[in-house]
Amino acid sequence: MELPGFLGLPDRADLRDRLRQFLTSAGYLGLLAFALLVGRASGQLTGLGLISALGFVAWAATYKRARAIADIATSRIGAAAQGYVELVGHASGAVSEMIVTPFSGVACIWYRYRSYSRSGGDGDWQETDHGSSNVTFEISDGSGVCRIDPDGAEVIAPQSRTTCHGDDKHVEEFLLRGSVIYVLGELRTLGGAHAALSVSEDVGALLGAWKQDPVELKRRFDLDGNGEIDMHEWELARRLATRMVEKEHREIRNIGDSHIVRAPVDGRLFLISTLPPHKLRRRFVWWSVFHLGVAVVALGAIVWLQR
Protein backbone atom coordinates (compact mmCIF):
# COMPACT_ATOMS: atom_id res chain seq x y z
CA MET A 1 0.00 0.00 0.00
CA GLU A 2 1.36 3.40 -0.94
CA LEU A 3 0.53 6.20 1.45
CA PRO A 4 0.67 9.85 0.34
CA GLY A 5 3.88 11.68 1.07
CA PHE A 6 4.08 14.10 3.98
CA LEU A 7 7.31 16.01 3.57
CA GLY A 8 6.08 18.23 0.71
CA LEU A 9 9.20 17.78 -1.40
CA PRO A 10 9.19 19.22 -4.91
CA ASP A 11 8.87 17.11 -8.02
CA ARG A 12 12.32 18.23 -9.19
CA ALA A 13 13.85 16.54 -6.17
CA ASP A 14 12.80 13.15 -7.48
CA LEU A 15 15.16 11.14 -5.31
CA ARG A 16 13.91 12.83 -2.15
CA ASP A 17 10.33 12.36 -3.35
CA ARG A 18 10.87 8.61 -3.57
CA LEU A 19 12.46 8.65 -0.11
CA ARG A 20 9.36 10.42 1.21
CA GLN A 21 7.11 7.74 -0.30
CA PHE A 22 9.29 5.02 1.21
CA LEU A 23 9.07 6.55 4.66
CA THR A 24 5.29 6.77 4.55
CA SER A 25 4.60 3.35 2.99
CA ALA A 26 7.38 0.88 3.77
CA GLY A 27 8.55 2.75 6.86
CA TYR A 28 5.68 1.70 9.12
CA LEU A 29 5.69 -1.89 7.84
CA GLY A 30 9.46 -2.27 8.08
CA LEU A 31 9.64 -0.89 11.61
CA LEU A 32 6.68 -3.03 12.68
CA ALA A 33 8.35 -6.16 11.28
CA PHE A 34 11.53 -5.25 13.15
CA ALA A 35 9.61 -4.79 16.42
CA LEU A 36 7.80 -8.14 16.03
CA LEU A 37 10.77 -10.23 14.94
CA VAL A 38 13.45 -8.95 17.30
CA GLY A 39 13.84 -11.14 20.36
CA ARG A 40 14.79 -8.53 22.93
CA ALA A 41 12.34 -6.18 24.61
CA SER A 42 14.73 -3.27 24.09
CA GLY A 43 14.64 -3.85 20.33
CA GLN A 44 10.85 -3.99 20.33
CA LEU A 45 10.67 -0.73 22.26
CA THR A 46 13.09 0.87 19.80
CA GLY A 47 11.05 -0.23 16.78
CA LEU A 48 7.78 0.96 18.30
CA GLY A 49 9.41 4.24 19.34
CA LEU A 50 10.54 4.88 15.77
CA ILE A 51 7.05 4.09 14.45
CA SER A 52 5.54 6.54 16.94
CA ALA A 53 8.07 9.26 16.04
CA LEU A 54 7.51 8.75 12.30
CA GLY A 55 3.75 8.88 12.84
CA PHE A 56 3.89 12.16 14.76
CA VAL A 57 6.16 13.76 12.10
CA ALA A 58 3.84 12.56 9.30
CA TRP A 59 0.78 13.79 11.21
CA ALA A 60 2.29 17.25 11.74
CA ALA A 61 3.26 17.61 8.09
CA THR A 62 -0.03 16.38 6.59
CA TYR A 63 -2.02 18.52 9.03
CA LYS A 64 0.13 21.51 8.04
CA ARG A 65 -0.86 20.86 4.42
CA ALA A 66 -4.53 20.76 5.34
CA ARG A 67 -4.22 24.02 7.27
CA ALA A 68 -2.35 25.72 4.41
CA ILE A 69 -5.25 24.94 2.06
CA ALA A 70 -7.92 25.90 4.61
CA ASP A 71 -6.28 29.19 5.60
CA ILE A 72 -6.05 30.62 2.05
CA ALA A 73 -9.25 31.72 0.31
CA THR A 74 -9.54 31.12 -3.42
CA SER A 75 -8.73 34.30 -5.36
CA ARG A 76 -9.88 35.42 -8.79
CA ILE A 77 -6.92 35.80 -11.12
CA GLY A 78 -7.89 39.30 -12.20
CA ALA A 79 -8.10 40.54 -8.60
CA ALA A 80 -5.46 38.39 -6.87
CA ALA A 81 -2.99 40.17 -4.61
CA GLN A 82 0.74 39.69 -4.93
CA GLY A 83 2.12 36.89 -2.78
CA TYR A 84 0.86 33.52 -1.56
CA VAL A 85 -2.44 32.69 -3.30
CA GLU A 86 -4.88 29.93 -4.11
CA LEU A 87 -6.24 29.84 -7.67
CA VAL A 88 -8.63 27.55 -9.55
CA GLY A 89 -8.97 27.72 -13.32
CA HIS A 90 -9.15 25.79 -16.55
CA ALA A 91 -5.94 24.89 -18.37
CA SER A 92 -6.49 27.19 -21.32
CA GLY A 93 -3.26 27.39 -23.31
CA ALA A 94 -3.19 27.39 -27.09
CA VAL A 95 -2.86 24.10 -28.95
CA SER A 96 0.52 25.29 -30.25
CA GLU A 97 1.81 25.37 -26.65
CA MET A 98 0.97 21.72 -25.96
CA ILE A 99 3.70 19.23 -25.17
CA VAL A 100 3.57 15.43 -25.50
CA THR A 101 4.50 12.66 -23.09
CA PRO A 102 7.77 10.97 -24.09
CA PHE A 103 6.49 7.39 -24.58
CA SER A 104 2.75 7.30 -25.32
CA GLY A 105 2.65 10.71 -27.04
CA VAL A 106 -0.31 12.13 -25.08
CA ALA A 107 -0.80 15.84 -25.79
CA CYS A 108 -0.77 17.64 -22.42
CA ILE A 109 0.38 20.73 -20.52
CA TRP A 110 2.62 18.90 -18.01
CA TYR A 111 3.98 15.38 -17.52
CA ARG A 112 6.33 13.26 -15.45
CA TYR A 113 7.44 9.70 -16.06
CA ARG A 114 9.28 6.73 -14.62
CA SER A 115 10.78 3.90 -16.67
CA TYR A 116 11.33 0.38 -15.37
CA SER A 117 13.03 -2.74 -16.68
CA ARG A 118 13.00 -6.38 -15.59
CA SER A 119 16.37 -7.64 -14.41
CA GLY A 120 17.53 -10.94 -12.92
CA GLY A 121 15.55 -14.13 -12.56
CA ASP A 122 13.01 -12.84 -10.04
CA GLY A 123 11.22 -10.65 -12.57
CA ASP A 124 11.19 -7.57 -10.33
CA TRP A 125 10.90 -4.15 -11.96
CA GLN A 126 13.95 -1.90 -11.49
CA GLU A 127 13.67 1.83 -12.16
CA THR A 128 15.97 2.93 -14.98
CA ASP A 129 14.96 6.54 -15.67
CA HIS A 130 12.63 9.31 -14.51
CA GLY A 131 11.91 12.93 -15.34
CA SER A 132 9.29 15.63 -15.71
CA SER A 133 8.49 18.61 -17.93
CA ASN A 134 9.20 22.16 -16.76
CA VAL A 135 7.36 24.15 -19.44
CA THR A 136 5.00 26.82 -18.09
CA PHE A 137 1.31 26.49 -18.86
CA GLU A 138 -1.73 28.76 -18.66
CA ILE A 139 -4.94 28.71 -16.60
CA SER A 140 -7.91 31.08 -16.76
CA ASP A 141 -10.97 31.62 -14.59
CA GLY A 142 -12.99 34.19 -16.56
CA SER A 143 -11.47 37.15 -14.73
CA GLY A 144 -7.95 36.80 -16.08
CA VAL A 145 -5.16 34.54 -17.26
CA CYS A 146 -2.19 33.29 -15.26
CA ARG A 147 0.84 31.22 -16.22
CA ILE A 148 2.01 28.43 -13.93
CA ASP A 149 5.68 27.51 -13.60
CA PRO A 150 5.55 23.87 -12.39
CA ASP A 151 9.22 23.72 -11.40
CA GLY A 152 9.33 22.68 -7.75
CA ALA A 153 5.61 21.88 -7.47
CA GLU A 154 4.04 18.89 -5.76
CA VAL A 155 1.57 17.65 -8.39
CA ILE A 156 -1.35 15.65 -6.98
CA ALA A 157 -3.90 13.42 -8.77
CA PRO A 158 -2.79 13.80 -12.40
CA GLN A 159 -4.05 11.31 -14.99
CA SER A 160 -1.73 8.38 -15.67
CA ARG A 161 -0.97 5.80 -18.31
CA THR A 162 1.25 2.69 -18.21
CA THR A 163 2.76 1.18 -21.34
CA CYS A 164 4.78 -2.05 -21.54
CA HIS A 165 7.14 -3.20 -24.29
CA GLY A 166 8.69 -6.56 -23.52
CA ASP A 167 10.82 -6.16 -20.43
CA ASP A 168 10.35 -2.36 -20.30
CA LYS A 169 7.57 -0.47 -18.59
CA HIS A 170 6.85 3.27 -18.67
CA VAL A 171 4.51 5.02 -16.22
CA GLU A 172 3.46 8.49 -17.34
CA GLU A 173 1.41 11.04 -15.39
CA PHE A 174 0.04 14.15 -17.08
CA LEU A 175 -2.29 17.16 -16.91
CA LEU A 176 -4.56 17.72 -19.89
CA ARG A 177 -5.61 20.94 -21.58
CA GLY A 178 -9.11 21.88 -20.42
CA SER A 179 -8.67 20.30 -16.99
CA VAL A 180 -9.71 22.24 -13.89
CA ILE A 181 -6.43 23.03 -12.12
CA TYR A 182 -5.98 24.00 -8.47
CA VAL A 183 -2.80 25.92 -7.62
CA LEU A 184 -1.37 27.03 -4.28
CA GLY A 185 1.79 29.10 -4.71
CA GLU A 186 3.36 32.54 -5.00
CA LEU A 187 1.84 34.97 -7.49
CA ARG A 188 3.98 37.61 -9.15
CA THR A 189 2.81 40.12 -11.75
CA LEU A 190 5.37 41.01 -14.40
CA GLY A 191 5.27 43.97 -16.76
CA GLY A 192 2.70 46.75 -16.74
CA ALA A 193 2.51 48.98 -13.71
CA HIS A 194 4.09 46.25 -11.58
CA ALA A 195 7.29 46.08 -13.61
CA ALA A 196 10.38 46.51 -11.41
CA LEU A 197 12.40 48.96 -13.50
CA SER A 198 15.34 51.18 -12.57
CA VAL A 199 16.30 54.00 -14.94
CA SER A 200 19.70 54.57 -13.32
CA GLU A 201 20.66 50.88 -13.41
CA ASP A 202 19.53 50.42 -17.01
CA VAL A 203 21.26 53.63 -18.15
CA GLY A 204 24.48 52.45 -16.50
CA ALA A 205 24.17 49.07 -18.22
CA LEU A 206 23.56 50.69 -21.61
CA LEU A 207 26.54 53.06 -21.24
CA GLY A 208 28.68 50.11 -20.19
CA ALA A 209 27.65 48.25 -23.34
CA TRP A 210 28.57 51.26 -25.48
CA LYS A 211 32.00 51.40 -23.86
CA GLN A 212 32.67 47.86 -25.05
CA ASP A 213 32.89 49.21 -28.61
CA PRO A 214 35.15 52.32 -28.38
CA VAL A 215 35.32 52.76 -32.17
CA GLU A 216 31.54 53.05 -32.48
CA LEU A 217 31.42 55.20 -29.32
CA LYS A 218 33.82 57.75 -30.79
CA ARG A 219 32.03 57.71 -34.14
CA ARG A 220 28.77 58.65 -32.46
CA PHE A 221 29.89 61.06 -29.74
CA ASP A 222 33.34 62.47 -30.58
CA LEU A 223 31.84 65.65 -31.98
CA ASP A 224 35.10 67.65 -32.23
CA GLY A 225 36.98 64.76 -33.84
CA ASN A 226 39.99 64.84 -31.45
CA GLY A 227 39.84 61.08 -30.79
CA GLU A 228 38.67 61.51 -27.18
CA ILE A 229 35.29 61.62 -25.47
CA ASP A 230 35.37 64.69 -23.20
CA MET A 231 32.98 65.47 -20.34
CA HIS A 232 30.57 67.45 -22.50
CA GLU A 233 30.38 64.67 -25.12
CA TRP A 234 29.95 62.00 -22.43
CA GLU A 235 27.09 64.01 -20.92
CA LEU A 236 25.39 64.01 -24.32
CA ALA A 237 25.83 60.21 -24.49
CA ARG A 238 24.33 59.84 -21.00
CA ARG A 239 21.32 61.99 -21.93
CA LEU A 240 20.71 59.92 -25.06
CA ALA A 241 20.96 56.69 -23.07
CA THR A 242 18.47 58.07 -20.51
CA ARG A 243 15.95 58.95 -23.23
CA MET A 244 16.33 55.49 -24.80
CA VAL A 245 15.85 53.71 -21.46
CA GLU A 246 12.83 55.82 -20.51
CA LYS A 247 11.22 55.08 -23.89
CA GLU A 248 11.84 51.34 -23.41
CA HIS A 249 10.34 51.47 -19.91
CA ARG A 250 7.20 53.19 -21.21
CA GLU A 251 6.79 50.44 -23.82
CA ILE A 252 7.20 47.72 -21.16
CA ARG A 253 4.57 49.30 -18.94
CA ASN A 254 2.18 49.63 -21.89
CA ILE A 255 2.38 45.91 -22.65
CA GLY A 256 0.05 45.06 -19.74
CA ASP A 257 0.26 42.81 -16.73
CA SER A 258 1.44 39.20 -16.96
CA HIS A 259 0.65 36.98 -13.95
CA ILE A 260 2.74 33.94 -13.05
CA VAL A 261 2.63 31.52 -10.09
CA ARG A 262 5.91 29.95 -8.99
CA ALA A 263 7.37 28.06 -6.03
CA PRO A 264 7.35 30.36 -2.97
CA VAL A 265 10.80 31.73 -2.21
CA ASP A 266 10.24 31.16 1.52
CA GLY A 267 9.78 27.40 1.05
CA ARG A 268 6.04 27.30 1.68
CA LEU A 269 3.88 24.60 0.11
CA PHE A 270 3.60 24.71 -3.70
CA LEU A 271 0.73 22.52 -4.92
CA ILE A 272 -0.80 21.78 -8.32
CA SER A 273 -3.76 19.40 -8.38
CA THR A 274 -6.78 18.32 -10.38
CA LEU A 275 -8.70 17.99 -7.10
CA PRO A 276 -10.77 20.95 -5.83
CA PRO A 277 -9.47 22.52 -2.61
CA HIS A 278 -12.14 21.03 -0.31
CA LYS A 279 -11.38 17.49 -1.50
CA LEU A 280 -7.67 18.06 -1.30
CA ARG A 281 -7.98 19.40 2.24
CA ARG A 282 -10.20 16.48 3.24
CA ARG A 283 -7.63 14.03 1.91
CA PHE A 284 -4.85 15.59 3.97
CA VAL A 285 -7.08 15.70 7.07
CA TRP A 286 -7.87 11.99 6.83
CA TRP A 287 -4.23 11.06 6.31
CA SER A 288 -3.21 13.23 9.24
CA VAL A 289 -5.75 11.33 11.39
CA PHE A 290 -4.30 8.03 10.12
CA HIS A 291 -0.72 9.03 10.95
CA LEU A 292 -1.76 10.30 14.37
CA GLY A 293 -3.56 7.01 15.03
CA VAL A 294 -0.45 5.03 14.12
CA ALA A 295 1.66 7.18 16.45
CA VAL A 296 -0.79 6.83 19.36
CA VAL A 297 -1.16 3.03 18.93
CA ALA A 298 2.61 2.60 18.83
CA LEU A 299 2.97 4.77 21.92
CA GLY A 300 0.31 2.67 23.70
CA ALA A 301 2.15 -0.52 22.78
CA ILE A 302 5.32 0.90 24.34
CA VAL A 303 3.47 1.62 27.59
CA TRP A 304 1.96 -1.87 27.57
CA LEU A 305 5.35 -3.56 27.03
CA GLN A 306 6.95 -1.57 29.81
CA ARG A 307 4.23 -2.77 32.20
pLDDT at 155: 92
Secondary structure percentages of the chain, helix, strand, coil, to 5 = 45, 25, 30
Higher pLDDT, 189 or 272: 272
Domain positions in the chain are: 14-191+257-306, 194-255
Per-residue pLDDT band for 121 (boundaries 50, 70, 90) equals low
Neighbours of 132 (CB within 10 A): 17
Q: What is the pLDDT of residues 214-231, one digit of tens each?
A: 888 888 888 888 888 888
Per-residue pLDDT band for 26 (boundaries 50, 70, 90) equals low
pLDDT at 99: 93
Q: Is the pLDDT of residue 32 over 80?
A: no
Give the CA-trace dihedral at 270, 274, 275, 277, to 10 degrees: 40
Question: How large is the average pLDDT for residues 39-65?
Answer: 80
Q: What is the spatial distance between Cα 144 and Cα 148, in angstroms, rounded to a whole number?
A: 13
Q: Nearest-CA neighbor of 4 among 29, 24, 30?
A: 24
Q: What is the spatial distance between Cα 117 and Cα 164, in angstroms, rounded to a whole number?
A: 10
pLDDT at 254: 65
Q: What is the pTM of this model?
A: 0.67
The answer to which of 89-103, 161-175, 192-206 has the lowest mean pLDDT is 192-206
pLDDT at 14: 42
Q: What is the pLDDT of residues 76-101, one digit of tens each?
A: 998 888 899 999 999 987 888 899 99
Q: Nearest-CA neighbor of 187 among 152, 147, 234?
A: 147
Let me know if 218 is exposed, middle or buried by CB neighbors in 10 A (0-12, 13-18, 19+): middle
Q: What is the spatial distance between Cα 208 and Cα 289, in angstroms, rounded to a whole number?
A: 61
Q: What is the spatial distance between Cα 60 and Cα 55, in angstroms, rounded to a whole number?
A: 9
Q: Do 169 and 287 meet the contact criterion of CB atoms below 8 Å apart?
A: no
Question: How large is the average pLDDT for residues 264-291?
Answer: 90
Task: Find how far residue 82's CA is from the centre of its chain.
Answer: 18
Q: Is the pLDDT of residue 30 over 70?
A: no
Q: What is the spatial distance between Cα 5 and Cα 157, in angstroms, rounded to a whole number?
A: 13
Higher pLDDT, 249 or 74: 74
Q: Do 274 and 157 meet the contact criterion of CB atoms below 8 Å apart?
A: yes
Percent of all residues in the chain with a pLDDT value above 70, rounded to a whole number: 80
Q: Is the pLDDT of residue 176 over 90?
A: yes
User: To 10 degrees, what angle do helices 199-211 and 214-221 make?
Assistant: 110
The answer to which of 115-124, 135-144, 172-181, 236-245 has the lowest mean pLDDT is 115-124
Q: Is the pLDDT of residue 43 over 90?
A: no
